[in-house]
Structure 1
Amino acid sequence: MSGELEVSALAINVTIPQALRWTDTRRGEAFTLTTLNVRLLPDGRLAVKAYGRPVAGGRGAYVSFPVPDDPGLAALVADAADRGAALWAAHRGLD
């Protein structure tokens, strides 16, 4: 079955360490970005978006932001992908 099975993407969520967090604005509202969603695409490339909370408080909209070109964030994404791969490889099946 595994040879026929098509997996479209694998995704993990990663908390952004305080030192790497940043603020961005969407629709006039400032957000502090606290989480990365990293996806492994079928061709082996990684795709990443950032999510966070409004600076003013409250829940706000669930809005994705691009991740800046920053060596620290790039290393976080690579480390997260490696850790995610290890966790997937060690899965123990359904409970």
Structure 2
Amino acid sequence: MSADAELVVSAMAINVTIPETLRWTDTRRGQTFRLDTLNVRMLPSGHLAAKAYGRPVDGGRGAYVSFAVPDRPELAALIDAAADRAGTMWAAHHGLQ
């Protein structure tokens, strides 16, 4: 790629395991889900957006469903720390293997 060509990065996202002590449950259509993963995206503005994902508490083959992340300081801190860590990891990449 030439130096003057515009490089368009259309998505930057990371998946983060929610520590056990910060996990929570939520309900959708009468089914309770345990939220255990965050998907954090960097928006074009540089701000972050996050969704939580989980599986049904009762088990089974239920879908992996997304939920809004509650407005809790400890979750905001986790998201910020994860984004910082991901940035460090990206910056230190070793190229394709």
Q: TM-score higher than 0.5 here? A: yes
- Distance in 1, matches of 2:61 and 2:20, equals 19
Q: Could you tell me how far 1:53 is from its partner in structure 2? A: 1.2
SS in 2 for 1:86: helix
User: Counterparts in 2 of 1:1-95, with a 5 A limit?
Assistant: 1=2, 4-95=6-97
- Distance in 2, matches of 1:59 and 1:40, equals 31
Q: How many aligned residue pairs are there?
A: 95
Return the letter of the residue paired with 1:14.
V
Q: What TM-score results when the alignment is normalised by the length of structure 1?
A: 0.93
Return the letter of the residue paired with 2:81.
D
Q: What TM-score results when the alignment is normalised by the length of structure 2?
A: 0.91
CA RMSD of superposed structures (Å)? 1.3
Q: Could you tell me how far 1:58 is from its partner in structure 2? A: 2.2
Q: Could you tell me how far 1:12 is from its partner in structure 2? A: 0.6
Seq. identity, %? 71
The list of structure 1 runs, each at least 4 consecutive aligned residues, that deviate by more than 3 angstroms after superposition, is none
Unpaired runs of at least 5, structure 2? none
Q: Could you tell me how far 1:26 is from its partner in structure 2? A: 1.1
SS in 2 for 1:81: helix
Unpaired runs of at least 5, structure 1? none
State whether residues 8 and 41 of structure 1, in contact with CA within 8 Å, keep that contact through their aligned partners in structure 2. no
Return the letter of the residue paired with 2:10.
S
State whether residues 25 and 31 of structure 1, in contact with CA within 8 Å, keep that contact through their aligned partners in structure 2. yes
